């Protein structure tokens, strides 16, 4: 059974940093693009970043330079380092697996809440 479990969310002050983790199991992690999404309270879904097994990575333009996606295939884990956090970064952050053949997302974690507030 495919499972994705996010952790690392919490309360952080504006300007602070946070590192999210996503532990994957039930599939060959190294064979898939992995992604981060976020959803602000009461709002829609936003793709944040993704990373291929070989290290290629892409980001939504608005977050380039502040967020960094990484992965450890040996640990079946995906990470999101978030720096210079702003109030508007407050959201539930989800990791998700991109399907093998195309750019839709077939498995999602339950999400971890990041709250940026003073």
Partner 1 sequence: EIVMTQSPATLSVSPGERATLSCRASQSVSSKLAWYQQKRGQAPRLLIYGASTRASGIAARFSGSGSGTEFTLTISSLQSEDFAVYYCQQYNDWPPMYTFGQGTKLEIK
Contact positions toward partner 1, by CB under 8 A?
A: 35, 44-47, 50, 58, 60-61, 94, 99, 102-106, 108-111
Give whichever of 8 and 16 is closer to partner 1, judged by the CB atom: 8
* Cα–Cα distance, 17 to 71 (Å, whole number): 18
CB 98 within 8 A of CB 34: yes
| Residue 104 or 118 having the CB closest to partner 1 | 104
What is the spatial distance between Cα 18 and Cα 28, in angstroms, rounded to a whole number? 27
Q: Which residue, 16 or 115, is less far from partner 1 as judged by CB?
A: 115
Task: Give the C-alpha separation, 60 to 70, whole Å.
Answer: 15
Least distance from partner 1 to the Cβ atom of residue 85, Å: 22
Nearer to partner 1, 72 or 106 (CB): 106
- DSSP letter (8 states) at residue 84: S
Residue 33 beta carbon to partner 1: minimum distance, rounded to whole angstroms:
8
Q: Least Å distance between CB 51 and partner 1?
A: 11
d(CA 65, CA 39): 20
């Amino acid at each position: 059974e495919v499972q994705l479990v996010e952790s690392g969310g919490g309360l952080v002050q504006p300007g602070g940093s946070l590192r999210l983790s996503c532990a994957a199991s039930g599939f060959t992690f190294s064979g898939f693009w992995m992604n981060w999404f976020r959803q602000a309270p009461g709002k829609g879904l936003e793709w944040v970043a993704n990373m291929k097994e070989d290290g290629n990575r892409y980001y939504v333009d608005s977050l380039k330079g502040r967020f960094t996606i990484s992965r450890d295939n040996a640990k079946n884990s995906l990470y999101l380092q978030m720096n210079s956090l702003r109030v508007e970064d407050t959201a539930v952050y989800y990791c998700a697996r991109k399907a093998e053949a195309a750019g839709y997302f077939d498995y999602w974690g339950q999400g971890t809440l990041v709250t940026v507030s003073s």
